[in-house]
């Protein structure tokens, strides 16, 4: 667990549809929540389990457990944008949540 290491403020965004003014809609991102997280790189074992042998920078965000997050969300850390590839509770205790993310180019 990384309780004392959660020192990075991240914004988790959800996709929403907004009117485009011409009768249609356009995909926009609105904030879902702002949380404290610990960012670390994927371990070798996690990258093999996720079958990610690519040149894309992947990392794991460790945060306090939430039940409202999914792979349809994205994460903003300053100017960086991360797509959520997987969401899981590593110990099945509902205390922590891991978001496996890849950097948007």
Tell me what the mean pLDDT of segment 53-62 comes to. Answer: 75
Domain boundaries, the chain: 3-103
Instruction: Give the CB-side neighbour count of residue 56, counting CA atoms within 13 A.
Output: 19
DSSP collapsed to 3 states, 36-98? EEEEEECCHHHHHHCCCCCCCCEEEEEEECCCCCCCCCEEEECCEEEEEEEEECCCCCCCEEE
The domain made up of 3-103 has a fold known as Thrombin, subunit H (2.40.10)
- Note the pLDDT of residue 51: 62
- Note the pLDDT of residue 37: 95
- Tell me: the pLDDT tens digits for 31-49? 999 999 999 988 777 766 6
- Note the pLDDT of residue 3: 59
Q: Does residue 54 carry a pLDDT above 70? A: no
Q: Does residue 53 carry a pLDDT above 80? A: no
- Note the pLDDT of residue 35: 96
- Note the pLDDT of residue 64: 94
Mean pLDDT of the chain: 87
- Tell me: the pLDDT tens digits for 64-90? 999 999 999 999 999 999 999 889 998
Q: Which two tokens stand for residue 49?
A: 């389990």
List beta partners, residue 12.
33, 75
């Amino acid at each position: 667990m990384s309780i004392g290491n959660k020192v990075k403020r991240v914004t988790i965004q959800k996709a929403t549809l907004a009117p485009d003014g011409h009768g249609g809609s356009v995909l926009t991102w609105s904030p879902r929540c702002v949380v404290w997280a610990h960012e670390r790189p994927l371990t070798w074992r996690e990258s093999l389990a996720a079958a990610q042998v690519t040149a894309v920078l992947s990392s794991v965000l460790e945060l306090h457990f939430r039940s409202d997050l999914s792979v349809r969300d994205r994460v903003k850390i300053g100017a960086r944008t991360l797509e959520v590839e997987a969401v899981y509770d590593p110990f099945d205790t509902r205390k922590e949540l891991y978001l496996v993310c890849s950097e948007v180019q």
